[in-house]
């Protein structure tokens, strides 16, 4: 199990909703950073992903290493949160 | 070996067509499972605003409409699974579906996988994907506050999403290949309200996306009027040039497709594989409207019910 999970989202992003649904369905809790209500964290999102796109899911492992999954991609999310 | 689970109908996709079909089948007590590999609600869910779906006089966000369709289908027992169907094989009375969760069987199948936005296929497009080149304004528009954008396309999606992007961008160049917009008159009138921010460039093809230091800096095009090169400075490019059907997973299945890869059906929406139906944007002849997709979904559900009748005796 990861130490924590952060999902960067926007209000209108359908794929963000899917990431949140998928994490909940798999029993994971997460912190959501909404870039519409919290635009100051946009640079942090870009620095983490190297992309100008949400959703960005940051999984912090037990050893504090981080894995970043961009977009709604269950095939990448599943091993990352395992 | 565990026997594969068997369902009355498995729907591939959970966009408006499948969700409407599932509402009908579940209300007939037909055991219904849906597989969605992308977003529940399909392209409708990533569309900023929907003004032409009947019953909502003030319009509504595409995401809201999708959630309402989902809730309504689930209210009657639709089982929506987050996963993909990879292959469909005709085993006679049942169809075998290879999914990301393993093998399942179905007496009938509804393919409602919809379409995705086409790509331009030009230099720079892949290189700058998600780092300046985008296909989802509602996802990525927020990264362009007070930035310049180029939108490519002239249909409903291009105009609708251009209007959405004016919330963020300081200026938008809309590049249209033809000499008119193909978007609905209502959208064209709406677009005119944003003429201070949006410049429409007709007869302009898009040839190359250029950048520097890992960032998009411009778009190179050609005027089809005089053959001259035209350049647009920009921080990002959003592409809405039409749709491609999601049918690659049907390769080798024997299900007949038309010249552009859309699924051929008869009047009853049945494909060339008996017991397998298709509805919505993936069906050859589809009008690519949410309202017609839900209508086709309802029709497909009734055809599925009819198909199941003799098979349950």
pLDDT over threshold 80, residue B310? no
Domain residues for the domain of B162 are 119-239
Mean pLDDT confidence for B305-310: 92
Considering the domain architecture, whether residues B37 and B102 belong to the same structural domain is answered as yes
Mean pLDDT confidence for B193-221: 96
Domain boundary among B222, B239, B256: B239
Mean pLDDT confidence for B151-173: 96
Query: Which tens digit of pLDDT belongs to each residue from B96-132?
Result: 999 998 999 999 999 999 998 899 999 999 999 989 9
Residues of chain A positioned with their CB less than 8 A from the CB of B134: 52-53
Task: Give the pLDDT confidence score for residue B311 in this predicted structure.
Answer: 56
CB-based contact B29:B304 (threshold 8 Å): no
Domain boundary among B207, B239, B271: B239
Catalytic annotation, pick one of B31, B116, B140, B267: B140
Q: Provide the domain count of chain A.
A: 1
Which phi and psi (to 5°) does residue B3 adopt?
Answer: -70, 135
What ipTM was assigned to the predicted interfaces of this complex? 0.80
Mean pLDDT confidence for B279-304: 96
Considering the domain architecture, whether residues B225 and B124 belong to the same structural domain is answered as yes
Would you say residue A61 lies in a domain?
A: yes
**Buried b or exposed e, range B233-247, using 16+ CB within 10 angstroms:** ebbbbbbbbebebbb
Nearest by Cα to A16 from A2, A30, A1: A30
Considering the domain architecture, whether residues B85 and B157 belong to the same structural domain is answered as no
Of B37, B61, B142, the CB nearest to A10: B142
Would you say residue A54 lies in a domain?
A: yes
- Taking CA–CA distances from B44, the nearest residue in chain A reads A14
Bond before A55 cis per omega within 30 degrees: yes
Considering the domain architecture, whether residues B262 and B153 belong to the same structural domain is answered as no
Query: Which tens digit of pLDDT belongs to each residue from A5-56?
Result: 999 999 989 899 999 999 998 999 999 999 999 999 999 999 999 899 999 9
Question: Which residues contact residue B165 at a Cβ distance below 8 angstroms, ignoring those fewer than 6 apart?
Answer: B137, B141, B144, B149, B151, B172, B238
State the CATH number of the domain containing residue B195.
3.50.50.60
pLDDT over threshold 70, residue B313? no
Q: Provide the domain count of chain B.
A: 2
Of B41, B141, B236, the CB nearest to A14: B41
Judged by DSSP in three states, B296 sits in helix
Mean pLDDT confidence for B170-184: 97
Task: Give the pLDDT confidence score for residue B1 in this predicted structure.
Answer: 45
Judge whether B82 is closer than 8 Å to chain A, CB to CB. Answer: yes
Domain residues for the domain of A32 are 17-81
Across the interface, whether the CB atoms of B100 and A22 are under 8 A apart is answered no
CB-based contact B297:B112 (threshold 8 Å): yes
Residue B136: active-site member:
yes
Considering the domain architecture, whether residues B111 and B148 belong to the same structural domain is answered as no
The dihedral of CA B120, B177, B164, B148: what is its sign? positive
Which tokens is B66 given? 């999708």
pLDDT over threshold 90, residue B24? yes
H-state helical runs in B12-148? 16-27, 42-45, 62-75, 137-140
pLDDT over threshold 80, residue B224? yes
Considering the domain architecture, whether residues B102 and B247 belong to the same structural domain is answered as yes
Find residues 33-72 of chain A whose CB sits inside 8 Å of chain B. Answer: 35-36, 39, 42, 46, 50-55, 70-72
Task: Give the pLDDT confidence score for residue B145 in this predicted structure.
Answer: 94
Which tokens is B108 given? 């009938």
Distances (CA, A) of B36 to A22, B39, B283: 12, 7, 17
Distances (CA, A) of B143 to B7, B234, B235: 44, 13, 10
Residues of chain A positioned with their CB less than 8 A from the CB of B62: 14
Across the interface, whether the CB atoms of B130 and A18 are under 8 A apart is answered no
Domain boundary among B239, B272, B300: B239
Model confidence at B2, pLDDT cuts 50, 70, 90, reads low
How many whole angstroms separate alpha carbon B89 and alpha carbon B254? Answer: 9
How many whole angstroms separate alpha carbon B91 and alpha carbon B105? Answer: 9
Nearest by Cα to B274 from B298, B296, B253: B253
């Amino acid at each position: 199990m990861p130490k924590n999970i952060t999902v960067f989202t926007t209000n209108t992003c359908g794929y963000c909703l899917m990431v949140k649904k998928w994490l909940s369905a798999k029993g994971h809790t997460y912190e959501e950073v909404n870039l519409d209500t919290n635009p100051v964290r946009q640079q942090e999102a870009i620095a983490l992903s190297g992309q100008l796109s949400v959703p960005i899911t940051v999984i912090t492992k037990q050893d504090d290493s981080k894995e970043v999954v961009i977009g709604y991609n269950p095939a990448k999310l599943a091993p990352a949160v395992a | 070996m565990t026997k594969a689970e068997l369902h009355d109908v498995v729907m591939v996709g959970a966009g408006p067509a499948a969700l409407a079909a599932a509402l009908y089948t579940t209300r007939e007590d037909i055991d219904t499972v849906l597989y969605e590999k992308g977003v529940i609600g399909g392209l409708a869910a990533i569309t900023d605003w929907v003004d032409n779906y009947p019953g909502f006089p003030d319009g509504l966000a595409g995401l809201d409409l999708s959630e309402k369709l989902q809730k309504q289908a689930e209210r009657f027992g639709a089982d929506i699974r987050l996963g993909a169907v990879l292959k469909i094989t005709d085993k006679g009375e049942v169809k075998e579906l290879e999914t990301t969760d393993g093998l399942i069987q179905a007496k009938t199948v509804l393919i409602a996988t919809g379409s995705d936005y086409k790509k331009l296929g030009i230099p720079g497009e892949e290189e700058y994907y998600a780092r300046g080149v985008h296909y989802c304004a509602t996802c990525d528009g927020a990264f362009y506050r007070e930035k310049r954008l180029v939108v490519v396309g002239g249909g409903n999606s291009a105009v609708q999403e251009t209007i959405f992007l004016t919330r963020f961008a300081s200026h938008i160049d809309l590049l249209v290949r033809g000499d008119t917009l193909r978007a609905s008159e209502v959208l064209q009138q709406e677009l005119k309200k944003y003429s201070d921010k949006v410049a429409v460039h007709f007869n302009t093809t898009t040839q190359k996306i250029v950048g520097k230091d890992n960032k998009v800096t411009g778009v190179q095009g050609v005027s089809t009027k005089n053959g001259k090169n035209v350049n647009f400075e920009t921080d990002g490019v959003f592409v809405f040039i039409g749709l491609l059907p999601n049918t690659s997973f049907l390769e080798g299945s024997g299900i007949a497709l038309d010249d552009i890869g859309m699924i051929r059906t008869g009047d009853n929406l049945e494909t060339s594989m008996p017991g397998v139906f298709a509805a919505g944007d993936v069906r050859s002849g589809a009008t690519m409207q949410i309202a017609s997709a839900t209508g086709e979904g309802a029709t497909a559900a009734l055809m599925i019910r009819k198909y199941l009748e003799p098979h349950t005796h």
